[in-house]
A and B are shown apart, each in its own frame.
Chain A
Amino acid sequence: MLQETLYSMLATLGFAIIFNIRGKNILYASLGGALAWFSYLLFQKLNFSISAANFMASIIIGIYSEVMARINKAPVTVYVVCSLIPLVPGGGMYYTMFESITGSLDKALRLGVETISSAGALAIGVLLISSISRLLSQANQKRKSY
């Protein structure tokens, strides 16, 4: 599990370079990737389904990214984009394509739905956290203006 987390971190590091992140943000972004995969595996170990594990992992990286963005005064995107990459269901996409090419349509459909629901779970997790953080920052601003 730790080994996989390390792999995830290094893969995310590659993406941080592709997205042209510089300085210490590279480190924080790759740590986000590691955190994403670690929590994904952890929740799978706790008998969560794949989509549910995706959902929980994306909530965790959402929180991580919002916190990091506040600390470093950088846009949240910098952290979310990189951390999210390992969770994107590339595997699901591939197997769906493979099954539909080899002609087992029912398998392809099942995998396709699974892939879409994983991607959806990912999206909803991030959506939830950024909505909450928006709410909090709006509340903060109101308090200041009074």
Chain B
Amino acid sequence: MNNKDINAIMHIAVEAGRIILENGGETYRVEDTINRICTAFGVRRAESFVTPTGIMMSVTAIDGSTFSTVKRIQIRTVNLEKICKVNELSRNIHKYANSMDEIIKILEEIDNTPRYSNTKTIFFSALAAGFFTLLMGGAIQDFFVALINGFFIKSTNIYLKNLRINEFFINIVGGALAMLLSLILNQLGLVVKFDGLVIGSIMLLVPGLAITNAIRDTIAGDLVSGLARAIEAFLVAIGIAIGSGMILGFWISTFGGVH
């Protein structure tokens, strides 16, 4: 195996890791995938250090020379389908072990897997908000109001994400929007159970994935990532509270309370 091959293998491994990390995979899964790919191609020693914001890896060739690469992760979204696919690839990696081009092609294909269209995502977000409202004790009437809320919150969310604004700010805006819409619709007399509606709407913003990954990373022994993700989850929650609290505070001091 010459040095050029080792470089190519390293890039394939990092690319697979990047896809997992950017789409909401756990840290150990990234490291595991990188190591599996390297071992499958016969690299003797591969080490990687992964945090939610970057991948560092180094490979030692048989003659003792060391190669390393750093990959910075800028975007973090949730796309579990891509993780499933990379996971499947890494399970069956030995099948492709003699053709690097094929793996590069497969990885490209995975990376270009389309999301559900925005319309679909927004529609189902609205439904989720609606059913959470019912779950939190809302009446049937509130279900329909929550659909409106969900529609606006998710649309704004997608719009702001495309502008690459930081997560914290997006959640402040989301929380504020949820509260503002609920207050206005409540004022118009359309809402039966105000609490249920607000809770159902902010459930759309809740950091479910960050919490789960924080736990799973911590168990796997990736303390740095676990802590980083726990803080991410906490900041998101604080952001939602700040956004909605701000609007509620203004509303109460201006109009003297919530009916």
In this complex, which of B132, B198, B199, B245 has the most chain A Cβ atoms within 10 angstroms of its Cβ? B132
User: Of the candidates A19, A74, A95, A123, which one forms a contact with B209 in the assembled complex, judged by CB atoms under 8 Å apart?
Assistant: A19
Complex interface bits, A34-68 against B, C-beta within 8 A gives 1, otherwise 0: 00010000000000000000000000000000000
Tell me, in angstroms, the Cα distance from A65 to B219 when the chains sit together. Answer: 16
Say whether A31 faces chain B, with CB atoms less than 8 Å apart.
Answer: no
Tell me, in angstroms, the Cα distance from A93 to B203 when the chains sit together. Answer: 10
User: Of the candidates B125, B213, B240, which one forms a contact with A77 in the assembled complex, judged by CB atoms under 8 Å apart?
Assistant: B213
Number of interface residues of B (CB under 8 A): 54
Tell me, in angstroms, the Cα distance from A102 to B252 when the chains sit together. Answer: 8
Given A10-B131, A93-B237, check contact A21 B202 (CB 8 Å): no
User: Of the candidates B115, B240, B245, which one forms a contact with A100 in the assembled complex, judged by CB atoms under 8 Å apart?
Assistant: B245
Complex interface bits, B53-93 against A, C-beta within 8 A gives 1, otherwise 0: 00000000000000000000000001111111001100100
Say whether A131 faces chain B, with CB atoms less than 8 Å apart.
Answer: yes
Contact, CB under 8 Å: A15 / B208: yes
Contact, CB under 8 Å: B125 / A93: no
For B127, list chain A residues within 8 Å (CB).
Answer: 10-11, 13-14
Contact, CB under 8 Å: A11 / B80: no
Contact, CB under 8 Å: B209 / A86: no
For A15, list chain B residues within 8 Å (CB).
Answer: 128, 208
Say whether B174 faces chain A, with CB atoms less than 8 Å apart.
Answer: no
For A94, list chain B residues within 8 Å (CB).
Answer: 195, 198-199, 202, 244
Q: Which of B3-11, B22-30, B34-42, B184-192 contacts A (4 or more CB under 8 A)?
A: B22-30
Contact, CB under 8 Å: B124 / A19: no
| A130 vs chain B, min Cβ distance (A) | 5
Contact, CB under 8 Å: B83 / A78: yes
Contact, CB under 8 Å: B80 / A21: yes
Which residue on chain B has the smallest CB distance to residue A128? B219
User: Which 6 A-B pairs give the minimum distances between C-beta atoms?
Assistant: A14-B128, A11-B131, A17-B124, A14-B124, A20-B79, A97-B241
Residues of A within 8 A of B (CB): 4, 7-8, 10-15, 17-22, 25, 37, 73-78, 80-82, 84-86, 88, 90-91, 93-98, 100-102, 119, 122-123, 126-127, 130-131, 134
